[in-house]
Each structure stands twice: as C-alpha cells, then as structure tokens.
Amino acid sequence: MATENKKELNLREIKIVPNFIKNAPGSALIEQGNTRIISTATYSNKVPQFLRDSRKGWIIAEYSMLPGSTGNERIVRERQKVNNRNIEIQRFIGRALRSTFDLRAIDGKTIFIDADVIQADGSTRCASINCGMIALVELLKHLVFEHKIAEFPKIEFISAVSIGVKKKEILVDLTYKEDSSVDADINIVSSENQNIVEVQALGEESSIPKEIFKRVIDIGIKKNLEIIKILKRSLE
C-alpha cells in the first residue's frame, strides 16, 4: 500500500499573471515552484486541411525550453533541430486544451498556444497546460471583444499535475530532483467536473501496482481541482 506524507502531497506554490505579454491577444506567466513558463495565445483565420468544411476550429501547441532555462548547460533552440520530446509534449498540451470547449465556437480559426519554459525545475509539461489554459481564456475573451466570434464558449476548465511513486510513496507536483529519482512518473490531466482528459504513466525499471495507480488517479483529480481554483481566481 502506498504511503502518503502530508508535505509531499502538497502542491508547490502557484502564481499566475494573466496578460503578461501585452502585445499578444492572450498570454500568461506561471510560477509553479521554481518552474516558470510564459504562454501566449494567438490565432489565424484558417484551419488545417483535414478540417476544411467541418465548421470547426483547431488548437495547436508549441513547447520549447529556452537556452539557460536548466542552468549553465545551454539548450540549443528547438527551431534548429528535431526534438522528439518537444513534439510529444506539444501534442500532449494541444490534446488537453482541445478538450475544454466545443471547437465549433471558433469555426474557421486556429488557435496557437506557445509555451516557453524560461526556468525549469520539473513538471514543465503540466505547468504548460495550466498556463496555456489561462492564455486560451484570455484569447477567447479577446475574440469576443473584437467580434471575431459570436459569444464566449462554454468552457470546462482543465489542469495537469505530475505525480511520482517512489518505493510505494506518493509525491505530488514533482521537482526535477524528485522526477529524476522516482520509480514511476504519472502526468494526469483532468477537468473541473473530475473527468479524466489524459493520463501518461511510465514505470522506471519497475511496474506500477494496480492499487497504487488507482490511488494516484484519485490524488491527481483532487490536486487538479485545487489548481483549477487557482486558475479561476487568477482571472477574477
């Protein structure tokens, strides 16, 4: 049976600044512990070829870690190379945000969510979703204000949290040090209605017992509800 330490089940402090980039129609800065990410949301009046005549819009995400975000060992800018990790994370963010509202509300438009990690200390993909959620809402408000869409769509807020299992001990909102040492790493995206959007689970040299996995899912949903409250509060 997994053990739970009160301190290890607490989220790191989360601070959010909506409209952080004044030139972008939607943006936010998130500080989740020592992880800091800037997200911008922009749009175009066209959709991918496969959505032509579908009466739907689309959401695409891009993710990058800036040089120096992990310390003195400089990261080469991703535009100069193919990075499979980035591609996987971008798809993860895009899938999550596309679940938040009916894409027919942005018929004919593509929304671009760009997540730039300016300081990394674990859980960057989850923090990118949390930050992207705010940037997306701000963009949708902009589209309504500019009469680009008829009305603000009904949104089901989502958030993401990372959870680790180490020797049957459960840890929440992993730092880089914790993420590097856990036996299993699970990323959970869920909604304010406690629906599961996506789960990524990886056992590092060991499998995850079913009873522990079920407990991790319950904890993830609970922690995401806490994050969603913080997200909504930042928009008030």
What is the predicted pLDDT for the residue at 69?
72
pLDDT in tens, 219-233: 999 999 999 999 999
pLDDT in tens, 147-186: 999 999 999 999 999 999 988 789 999 999 999 899 999 9
Helices (H), 33-98: 84-98
What is the predicted pLDDT for the residue at 44?
96
The more confident residue out of 41 and 86 is 41
Residues 190, 224: Cα–Cα separation, whole Å: 7
Return the closest-CA partner of residue 75 out of 116, 21, 123, 126.
116
Structural domains of the chain, ranges and CATH numbers in brackets: 3-235 (3.30.230.70)
Neighbours of 195 (CB within 10 A): 12
Nearby residues of 60 by Cβ (< 8 Å), 6 or more positions away: 90, 94, 110, 111, 112, 113
Please provide the size of the chain in residues. 236
CA dihedral of 57, 187, 37, 191, whole degrees rounded to 10: 50
pLDDT in tens, 176-220: 999 989 999 999 999 999 999 999 998 876 788 889 999 999 999
The more confident residue out of 54 and 69 is 54
pLDDT in tens, 101-158: 999 999 999 999 999 999 999 999 999 999 999 999 999 999 999 999 999 999 999 9
Neighbours of 62 (CB within 10 A): 18
Stretch 11-16: mean pLDDT, rounded?
A: 97
Give the whole-number percent of the chain exceeding pLDDT 90.
79
